[in-house]
């Protein structure tokens, strides 16, 4: 029964603290509301900007990965057509052209 009594006592104490905070808050918060609003807006603005930057970075990463996957598929198809084994190294003719094309399609110059 002692555990139940402590639980009821803690509940009532928390309830009283909440009601007291609500009463005091009604008197204390309004003068600070005008001062805190610009700070809150600045915080929200920073969060929105960070979210948008994160979306842009994720989109760039996705495009880069798509380009890499496409390059690998082309190289695999060329190896299959030539009859090379998948682990063989090529002479560098294809890799130079492929990496040059990938560099031309990146957004490194922007930003």
The verdict on residue 80 lying in a domain is yes
Residue 68 neighbours by CB under 8 Å, 6+ apart: 102
pLDDT tens for residues 53-91?
Answer: 999 999 999 999 999 999 999 999 999 999 865 555 555
The verdict on residue 6 lying in a domain is no
Number of domains in the chain: 1
pLDDT of residue 26: 74
Q: What is the pTM of this model?
A: 0.42
The Cα–Cα gap between 110 and 97 comes to 23
Per the structure, the complete domain to which residue 96 belongs is given by 21-105
The verdict on residue 84 lying in a domain is yes
The verdict on residue 4 lying in a domain is no
Q: How far is CA 60 from the centre of its chain?
A: 13
pLDDT tens for residues 10-20?
Answer: 778 888 888 88
Lowest mean pLDDT among 21-25, 43-47, 78-82: 21-25
Highest mean pLDDT, choosing among 4-8, 50-54, 71-75: 71-75
């Amino acid at each position: 029964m002692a555990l139940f009594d402590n639980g009821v006592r803690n509940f009532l104490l928390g309830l009283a603290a909440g009601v007291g905070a609500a009463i005091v808050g009604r008197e204390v918060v309004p003068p600070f509301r005008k001062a805190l609003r610009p700070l809150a807006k600045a915080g929200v603005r920073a969060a929105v900007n960070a979210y948008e930057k994160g979306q842009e970075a994720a989109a760039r990463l996705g495009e880069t990965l798509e380009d890499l996957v496409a390059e690998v598929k082309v190289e695999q198809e060329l190896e299959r057509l030539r009859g090379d084994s998948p682990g063989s190294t090529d002479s560098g003719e294809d890799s130079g052209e492929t990496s040059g094309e990938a560099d031309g399609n990146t957004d490194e110059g922007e930003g």
